[in-house]
Amino acid sequence: MQNEGFKGSFPPWSRIPSLKEMTEETGIDFDKFVDCIKEGVSTVEMASMFDVSSQTIENLRGHFYKYGISSVMGGD
């Protein structure tokens, strides 16, 4: 019962942008990006396909593996 005082004290939304928001911000088609991950397309191939840097793809891919697609968390 130590955490009882914290129940519901966290917002039911995330402060982390969703993968969809992040891909839109970089001009990458979200659905194509997810399909590329599903198909195992390499970082270099994706960077070339989407005309962005390999670092951008690595950051987006890392976000996907760490937070998933929507990144929504809540304290309820």
- pLDDT tens sequence across 4-53: 555 555 555 556 788 999 999 999 999 999 999 999 999 999 999 999 99
Question: How far apart, in whole angstroms, are the C-alpha atoms of residue 75 and residue 37?
Answer: 30
Query: Band of the pLDDT at 67, cuts 50, 70, 90?
Result: confident
pLDDT at residue 76 is higher than 60: no
| Four-point Cα dihedral 58, 17, 37, 32, nearest 10 | -110
Dihedral pair phi/psi, residue 11, rounded to 5°: -65, 145
Instruction: Give me the pLDDT at residue 35, please.
Output: 97
